[in-house]
Each structure stands twice: as structure tokens, then as C-alpha cells.
Amino acid sequence: MLDIQSGVWLVLGIGLLTYVVKKLFMDDLSRVPGPLMGKLLPFWMDISVLTGHYTTKLRRLHEKYGPVVQIGSSTVIVLDPDVIPTIYGTHRFRKSPTFYETFRIAEHHLFSTSDPKLYAERHKIVASIYGPASLRKLEQLVYGSGPKKLLNRVMAKYEEKSGPVVVDFFDEFRMLTFSVIVEIAMGGEESFRSLNVSQDQLLDWFNSFALMQGVKLVIPVLGYDSLYRYCSGLFYGERGFHKYALQIIELRRQRIKNHQADPDRYPAPPQDVVQAFLEARHPETGEKLSDSAMATEIAVQLISGFETTSTALTWFFYALLIHPEVHDKVIDELLTTFPDRSKPIKAAEITQKLPYLDALIHETLRVYAPAAFAFPRLVPDGGITIQGHHIPEGMDVGISVYSWHHYAEAFPDPDTFNPERFLGPEGENNKRKVMAFLTGVRQCIGRRLAMMEIQITLVHILRELKLSPVESDLASKPIISFPIYYLKDKKLLVRVEPRPYQ
């Protein structure tokens, strides 16, 4: 006769065996190729986010199992250009709540919400903030607070040493993007100082937010409302950003009141992102965002505009340093097209007059897309059949950006760094394939702002500085994804000196 302990183990064993048999032979996804652990464990792949191998692991799985791979008990990744418009082109395939819940900050925002109605209404209110007219107002702020400040810092070091200096571009670009964010999303340095929050504090909040994103991917219940309230100490980063954004809004309102009361004494507030949010209205109803919703969107701007943009800038210069032939072509085009170095170059001119530099930007975003993970969507009623595999409703399906960018059928010879693929007859078509900012109806709303910052920074640094690598083995530096795709040691040492006038 079994004792109680043996009986418990027997029941657990039978239950486990039943679960394994069901998942492997009777499950809706049992015929979809994939690793054994991916079929049995819901969040098996998410652990690789914490180890820093998520993107490369997804690519290896595609190479082993093919274009359709099951990577979790309810998650499938695909490599099929024909289904990209289906999955990402409409709101029928909603964002997966399980995945995007990890990005919530106090409440859902444009990026995190899986509710098409909430997204549509919010998008109508804030879309103009990131439109061409608004960006033209921000361009001078971006130039003055970003590349111009960086160049001033580097030149001061050069003059102090009276010769070439070694600069860590990883740190420099973090300072650059932070300075830009202070200027366009925090009301400028005066407002930043008055709120009594240090740069180190903001970096600590960001690191906490990034860490807890990874933890919530592995333990998604931590993001549920019922537990979120009891684990507030774990989420001090996102709570800190939200509270800080509320203070920015209140400070701006006070600045507006002061100007209205005494315009001679108090200057008008800048036309930055904060001002744009305060002025934004629904085009049909006149509705504006609540303070909490506005603070959430501003907090997203602070977070997303910092690490991804600074990392992308690092990759651009990394690529130029390990591909000197590309570097020389970029410099020749830049100095030939804009020989007068006394005038800043506008973003519109960069796109129109520097095709090779534009090709370099697209190739770098293809090979080194900072946010290169899969972006899952929820399969709607009726399911979807991809390459002969039926994926039923309620499952998550998505495309790994890294795998797609390194897929030979989309980009021939994908491991070769070749900006020329974005020139010539197929150039524009290849640009449309790049998914660094995703694609479709939920494409990154801040992509134009990010591209403007990248373009302006690239051209002015390359025009003014001569660069050479410090490390002889730069091309073999380890790379990880956590979840941002970046150099493992977070360093890019560059020997810098002023470019002589010709």
C-alpha cells in the first residue's frame, strides 16, 4: 500500500507525463517544428534575455528548424515575407498582452497597449508631436544639445592635451542622448536642475527598468495589477520616471503661467516635446491627455530615446571603424557635398543629398538593430496557416527582427556589411524591408525623431573629426542582447583629432 508521500509523487509524475504527452503529441502546435524545451516550457526562450543571447539564439533556431519554429508552449516565430503584412499590417493581430505588459509604466501607453481602440484614440492626440512640422522645430535643439556639445567636449580635451585623444564613444553617445532628452523632453537644463534629480539617478532608474523588463518576461505574473501593487519596490525605476514626468508637466505649466503674467520677465517656454504634449488635442473631440497619461508618454520618451539611440550611434561608428573602405566613401561624399563646414547640415539635406550615408544608416540598422528581438502578436479567431503549419487563435506569433535582417532570402549574403544593397534599382525596396523600427500599423511613433538625431550626429561628427580605432581586435569584440543589442563591455574606444580643412 502506498504511503502519502509516495502517492503524492505518483500523482505528480502522472500529471507531468500527461502534460508532456499532451504538449508533444496532442497540442495544437505539436506539428510545428521546434526544440523540446520550447514545446514544454512557456517562457523557455525568455531566460536567454537575461543571459544576453536572445537574438542570436532565435537565428540559430531558424537555421536548425526552418522558417516556422515553436519557441514556447504558445509562441511561434516565423521567417516569411508574405505574412509580415498580415501580422503587422492591421490591428487584427493585436499586440501580445503577455509580452507588452512588461513595458507598462504606471499605466499603458502607445507602445505597450494591446487595445486597438486605446491605441487609435491616443495616436490621434499625439501623432502630430512626432510629425515633420514638429520635428523641424526640434532640429536646432537636437543639434545644439547633442553633437555640438559632444564636439565641444572633445575639442576641449584635444586642446588640453595638444594632440589626439582617446574617447569612449559608448559613454559619449550616452551623454549626448541624455543631453538631447533633457533639452527636448525635460524642459531644458534649467528645468532639469530645478527638479533636483541627478543624471546618476536617472541612469539608475533606467537600469532598474531594463532589469525588471527582463524579469517580468520570465515571471510575467509580476506585471499583473494584483501583484504589481505589492511589489512596488521592485519597480522603482518606472515609478521614478513617471513621478519625474509629472513634475516636469507641473513645472512647465508654472512656466507658462509666469510668461502669461509677465512676458517681459519670463520668456516663452520652448517648443519642445513637453510643450507639444500639453498642447496636443484630439482632432475630432478636442480631448487632451490626462496628466498621468501624458507623464507615461513622456516617461516612455525618456526611456526609449536614451538607450536605443545611443546604442545605435555606437554601432554606426563601430561599423565605420571596422570597415575603413565604407568610412572613406562616406567622408568623400560628405565633404564633397557640404564643403562649407561653418554651417550646420539640416536633416532634410542629409536624406536628399547624401545617398551613401543614408545607405550606411540602413545597413547598420539592419546588421546591428538595437531592439532586435521578436515582437509577438496574438493570433485572432480562425487562426493562421504559415508554410503549411496551422497556428490556432490565442497563440503568439512574431518575427525576430535580428533573424529577419540576417535572412538570406530577404537580404542576400546577410553577414556581409554592404551599404550598396540600399543603392541602385533595389535600394528603396530593401530599405522598406528593414524593421529596426518595426513595420505596419504599430510602427515606432518616434522613429522620425530617432532618425533625425542619428543623421545630425553622424554628419557633424564625421565632418569635424578624424577617427581611428584604439583596439586592434575591434571586429571580434563580444556582442550580447539584454534585451538591447550592444557591445558586451559597453566600450568603444576611438582615437580622435580635428579634421583639417582642405
Domain that holds residue 346: 23-498
pLDDT at 224: 65
Chain-wide mean pLDDT for the chain?
88
Residue 344 lies in a domain: yes
Quote the Cα angle for 347-344-199, to 5°.
80
Task: Indicate the length of the chain as a whole number.
Answer: 502
Percent composition of the chain: helix, strand, coil (DSSP 3-state, to 5): 60, 10, 30
pLDDT at 228: 66
Task: Give the residue from 61, 64, 79 showing the smallest Cα distance to 405.
Answer: 79
Residue 2 lies in a domain: no
The pLDDT-based confidence of 204 (bands split at 50, 70, 90) is confident
Buried b (16+ CB within 10 A) or exposed e, 318-331: bbbbebeebbebbb
More confident residue, 22 or 336: 336
Long-range Cβ contact pairs of 23-27 (< 8 A, separation 24 or more):
23/73, 27/73
Quote the Cα angle for 458-463-468, to 5°.
80
Task: Give the residue from 320, 310, 316 showing the smallest Cα distance to 467.
Answer: 320
Mean pLDDT of the region 300-310: 83
- Segment 96-111, tens digit of pLDDT: 988 888 888 888 899 9
The pLDDT-based confidence of 1 (bands split at 50, 70, 90) is low
pLDDT at 104: 83
The pLDDT-based confidence of 382 (bands split at 50, 70, 90) is very high
The pLDDT-based confidence of 387 (bands split at 50, 70, 90) is very high
More confident residue, 46 or 99: 99
Residue 223 lies in a domain: yes
**Residue 223, pLDDT above cutoff 70:** no
**Residue 470, pLDDT above cutoff 60:** yes
- Which residues line the annotated binding site for heme? 444
What's the CA dihedral at 395, 401, 406, 409 to 10 degrees?
60
Identify residue 226 by its one-letter amino acid code: S
- Segment 67-78, tens digit of pLDDT: 999 998 889 999
**3-state per-residue secondary structure call for 451-483:** HHHHHHHHHHHHHHEEEEECCCCHHHCCEEECC
Distance (Å) of CA 205 to CA 237, 242, 321, 333 = 4, 10, 32, 41
**Residue 24, pLDDT above cutoff 70:** no
**Residue 8, pLDDT above cutoff 60:** yes
- Domain containing residue 387: CATH number: 1.10.630.10
- Segment 388-437, tens digit of pLDDT: 999 999 999 999 999 999 999 999 999 999 999 999 999 999 999 999 99
Residue 5 lies in a domain: no
More confident residue, 479 or 281: 281
Residue 312 grid cell? 545605435
pLDDT at 227: 66
More confident residue, 262 or 484: 262
Residue 163 lies in a domain: yes
More confident residue, 91 or 210: 91
Phi and psi based region of residue 450 (left: phi greater than 0; alpha: psi -120 to 50; beta: remaining): alpha
**Residue 260, pLDDT above cutoff 80:** yes
Mean pLDDT of the region 334-359: 93
The pLDDT-based confidence of 265 (bands split at 50, 70, 90) is very high
Residue 214 lies in a domain: yes
> What does R_g of the chain's alpha carbons equal in angstroms?
25
- Which residues line the annotated binding site? 444
Identify residue 162 by its one-letter amino acid code: S
**3-state per-residue secondary structure call for 303-362:** HHHHHHHHHHHHHHHHHHHHCHHHHHHHHHHHHHHCCCCCCCCCHHHHHHHCHHHHHHHH
Residue 282 lies in a domain: yes
- Segment 472-485, tens digit of pLDDT: 888 888 877 766 77
Q: φ and ψ at 384, to 5 degrees?
A: -150, 140
pLDDT at 226: 62
Residue 8 lies in a domain: no
Q: Strand pairing partners for 486? A: 480
Mean pLDDT of the region 345-372: 94
Number of domains in the chain: 1
